Amino acid sequence: MAYYLVLGEVPAKEELDYVEFDSSERVMILRNTIYEMKKNTFSSIDRSDLKLWKVDIPFDCENDKLKMLDNAFGTINIKEDLKGEKMLPGDEISKYLKNLPPSSIHILVEPPPPATTEKGLKRLLEDSDEGRNSKRAKPIDPNIISTARKIMEDIMKLDEDESNYSNPKKLLSLPFPYPGQKKPIDRFAINDNGFFNFMGRKEFKNVLTTINKFRSGTGYMKLFVYGTVGYGKSHILSAIACFLFRTGRRVVYIPDCRQLSVDPIDYVKSALFLAYHDDDAKINEINSCENFEDITNFCKKLQFKEQLYFIIDQMNALDENDNTGVNIDVKTQIRRDLDKMANHHYYIMSSSANNKTMLHLMAKQTGELKIKLFGGFDEEEMKEWWNSHNPDLPAMDGQQIRQIEDITGKIPLFLNFLLESGHKNFEGALEHLNQKLNSIIQRPMTKFSEYILSKGNNHNWELHVQVMSSFLTSKSPPLGYGFDDYDHRYFYIDDNDICHYVCGLARDSMANYLYGKDRMEVFVDVNWIGSFKNNPSVKGFIIEKACLASICRGGITAHQVNFKVGRRQFFASLEEINFSLSEELCTFYLPRKWNQKSIDGLLALYKTDTLYIAPIQITLDKEGHSDSEGAFFSCIWPELKSKIPDDLNTEVIFIWITRKNGVDEEVEMKGRQLRGKDIEINPDYVSVVTGFANVNRDIDRYLSQV
């Protein structure tokens, strides 16, 4: 077997193919075999006109020969430039092909020049301006051309000072640089005049500086921009497109690959109309393009005259796992067509999340430029966002502001949900924000983890749990992890090999998920317990999980009763709680929903003919939960009591877990009469206050440090 490439088919790495042969046969047999394999490509060529060259061009690493095949195939001298050896038709194949390197192009197939055949001459004529313009093209929609020219007119009024685009104090109104009808209104708030607001982002400078490193033929020509969900990559790239246009460069801006995949030809042509808004001849050429091959040929001819800047956003829509309703084969073909179209020009690609293609490219040590954009606003950007939007938001104190910043991770997309709530009070706005974030984070995230669990590979599942624990506690990932072990939309690993979650709701959702899977070891980890030091707004959530997990592990003693947990059961409603009367079996009933009303857990122990029931309330501020006992006995106890036989001796111990120990208090039964009936308000019970140190000393230790 040998790898071969037809000269002129680019990119070389993607057009590479292989051929099987018998070394004892003649080269002409090999030539004929390749001809049959590429019959459509060589339909206008006689097989005897094909020339085969023996070459050795590695394709698993960047090198000058490979670049030459992609960028200068029209002027290449195979013998001199590529050290090629012509394979004579009458020779045995073994004379040329033996001991072949495993990752190299071995055969270069040289077709005859196009003009040497009648069909080739016709194609050459069609590729000329005269030939192309002679095609019958559908009339150009005058609206799209006028729209393109209006957009460019507005762009030329923009500031040419690049520092304004990187300054968070600047709120710029930019024309959306795409003239087609299908604009990404799900990601951009575009007004009736076609403008969107752009708050200066510091990463704009980094992206622009990187693009300015492009050099045709002798340097970088590709840039990959990758990042977590909601960072604002699309807004930065659209602003980049405006700035490049403003500074005299021609840009082909494809803002949405989902829409591109629906009608790729017209979508790309619309972008090209904006790039050549001022050139009627080019507009006519673009309009006459009927397929991607025509568009590719149009762009290829430009390479020696000027370099286009292709900006392709949302490339994750072309990934096989992205549910866009478009056939996988169609997506694959579109990716290939985009690569060919942009091959001789500057190529900027952007993607979010779990795009396998981009993850592979970001991990490879290739010659392309790469930028990773993780998380959300930095401190200065966040401050300016608050200043800009305060009039549209409910009044908030410092603690509430920190709570919003934690939940959203300072991510622009998530913060926008707060703006759209329309609530005048903080509680209503927060509830709306949580609902929106839960719908776009919690369900997809847990679906990702459930998929790993469903595959039944215990090793992969355990590794996933370890990796997610590292994200929750900001540690380095475990050895042996891979890209498939976590959801890249909501979690990332920085250049120092430290794990991060993008926002508080992602953290809480994953913590609740692992908690619901009974992975209590995550929450007794000292890294989990200590993580609230850097984020006081989530202190209660972290301590609650740590306390419950610690009780699962070591039990708790209250009023001289030792509750040593032997069984754990999660419940979503009280109907799921059924008390066991197995001797000395202690069951810990844990609510699936965090912040369950009035209690955080419920212990039940049957011992020596007595059922001990111990509701648990965990709090940093007992006074702020003063009604928890009353709420338990009015809302929960009546239903629990109905599950207990009347003749069974029952003792209730209400356990408070808080900062310091208190004195046990025996509370007598209270009741009242209603319509002549005695109604129990509460039974006899004991109220116990125990300190965090009695549950887990690490909790008390870290609390004493803040």
Average pLDDT over residues 395-424: 90
pLDDT digits (tens, 9 = 90+) for 426-459: 999 999 999 999 988 988 889 999 999 998 889 9
> Which of 400, 403, 404, 401 is closest to 417 using CA atoms?
404
Inter-helix orientation angle 264-275/142-155, to 10°: 50
Burial of 526 (0-12, 13-18, 19+ CB in 10 A): middle
| Of the candidate ranges 84-98, 209-223, 432-446, 563-577, the one whose mean pLDDT is the lowest | 209-223
* Higher per-residue pLDDT: 323 or 70: 70
Band of pLDDT at residue 141, cut at 50, 70 and 90: confident
Q: Sign of torsion, CA 470 474 479 482? A: positive
pLDDT of residue 432: 92
Average pLDDT over residues 176-199: 93
Question: Which domains, and CATH codes, for the chain?
Answer: 2-127 (3.10.20.90), 142-373 (3.40.50), 398-519 (no CATH), 545-703 (no CATH)
Q: What is the mean pLDDT of the chain?
A: 88
pLDDT of residue 364: 61
Measured CA angle at 492 (ends 487, 498), to 5 deg: 135
Q: Which of 482-491, 550-559, 616-625 has the highest mean pLDDT?
A: 550-559
Look up the pTM and report it: 0.73
pLDDT of residue 135: 45
pLDDT digits (tens, 9 = 90+) for 10-21: 888 888 999 999
Token code pair at residue 97: 């092909």
Average pLDDT over residues 368-396: 92
Q: Which residue has the tokens 């021609």?
A: 250
The C-alpha atoms of residue 403 and residue 107 are separated, in whole angstroms, by 63
pLDDT of residue 118: 36
Average pLDDT over residues 395-408: 92
In the predicted structure, residue 359 carries a pLDDT above the cut 70: no
Band of pLDDT at residue 595, cut at 50, 70 and 90: low
pLDDT of residue 126: 42
> Is there a contact between 614 and 652 (Cβ–Cβ < 8 Å)?
yes
pLDDT of residue 363: 62
First to last CA, the chain: 68
Token code pair at residue 477: 């990932």
> Which of 644, 637, 636, 615 is closest to 683 using CA atoms?
637
pLDDT of residue 44: 73
Average pLDDT over residues 595-606: 85
The C-alpha atoms of residue 399 and residue 444 are separated, in whole angstroms, by 29
Rg of the chain, C-alpha, whole Å: 34
Give the DSSP H or E segment for 173: strand 171-175
User: How many other β-carbons are positioned within 10 Å of the β-carbon of residue 50?
Assistant: 20
